[in-house]
Amino acid sequence: MATWTIGSVTVTRVEEQLGITHVPCEKYFRGFERDVLERHLHWLAPDHYSPQHDRVITSVHSWLIRAGDLTILLDTCGGNHKERPWTPRFHQLDTPFLQRLRAAGAAPEDIDLVLCTHLHADHVGWNTMLRDGRWVPTFPNAKYLFSRTDDAYWDVRKNPAMANDPRHMAYEDSVLPVVQSGQAVLVDDGYNVTNQLSIEAAPGHSPGHVVVRLAEQGRRAVFCGDVIHHALQVYAPHWNHMADERPADAAVSRRRLLESCAEQGSLLFPIHFGAPHVAAIEHATGGFAVKFVPGVP
């Protein structure tokens, strides 16, 4: 388990899954260009691409952030025992995620804040767990911060059209029980979580997607959720992901993210990059370059 330090803040990666995607590159990325992949093969294998399968490798993890007195969990993976007929990688999982969280030093009752960058199934799953046949919040003492725009989009009570999309099941079992328990806080662009952590709108992958920016003792980091999925997109920011709800907005948010990282020296903490999972972004001829930054084991 690796940890990164930003000033007085520590960030630990808690893994749920790491492996090849279940779809070909041509489907995973909209606008995929094979020559870009081939140009970068020398660093892509084995952590970001499997030549044997011709599939990209992606991670699904949470970031455990310790900032001052607060213990924060950012994005909560797929969760266990959830019905996800539209996405086999997240259907009826049974992973030791909570044991790994404990191994990182946090029991569920220790979590003060849960931050979800957006409300897709692989970012809200551990918000809840099954107890006596009911979905209950996994983190009993936490406030959960959700994007107000995403909440309005995925909740069929607010957006009846969503009833036709099976993905609203993730809202029903992983967000609604938190709202009903009174633990949810709906937030907008510019919301300050603490004096170090703030929420910024980055729409496209979902309508209300947000990133969380950290500024601490002159150092910066950004927890970018699914604004970018794969390190190869640093070299092809115009490639969208198959699940980007609003592709044109997604591409704008991705480029803005990379630009801000390169300009401000913000360390990038994505949710799906392969090992070592964290990167610095630099300006390069014609665009950007990735420089991976391993954590301390």
Which residue, 215 or 278, is less far from Zn ion as judged by CB? Answer: 278
* One-letter amino acid for residue 59 of the chain: S
* One-letter amino acid for residue 32 of the chain: F
**Contact positions with Zn ion (CB under 5 A) in 42-71:** none
CA dist 1 to 17, 63, 91, 293, Å?
13, 11, 25, 14
Q: Choose one: 1-9, 89-97, 121-129, 261-269; the region binding Zn ion (CB under 5 A).
A: 121-129
Residue 16, interface with Zn ion (CB under 5 A)? no
Number of residues near Zn ion (by CB under 5 A): 2
Which residue, 76 or 138, is less far from Zn ion as judged by CB? Answer: 76
Q: In 3D, which of 138, 267, 172 has the Cα closest to residue 215? A: 267
Residue 67 and residue 9: Cα distance in Å, rounded? 5
Which residue, 119 or 261, is less far from Zn ion as judged by CB? Answer: 119
Residue 101 and residue 14: Cα distance in Å, rounded? 6
Q: Choose one: 41-49, 122-130, 187-195, 251-259; the region binding Zn ion (CB under 5 A).
A: 122-130
Among 14, 62, 101, 122, binds Zn ion (CB under 5 A): 122
SS3 11: strand
Q: Choose one: 86-94, 109-117, 220-228, 232-240; the region binding Zn ion (CB under 5 A).
A: 220-228
Q: Which two tokens stand for residue 97?
A: 């995620």
Q: Which two tokens stand for residue 7?
A: 């000033």
Among 155, 226, 245, 249, binds Zn ion (CB under 5 A): 226
Q: Choose one: 41-49, 134-142, 157-165, 222-230; the region binding Zn ion (CB under 5 A).
A: 222-230
Residue 173, interface with Zn ion (CB under 5 A)? no
CA dist 3 to 63, 198, 212, 266, Å?
10, 21, 18, 16
Residues that bind Zn ion (CB under 5 A): 122, 226
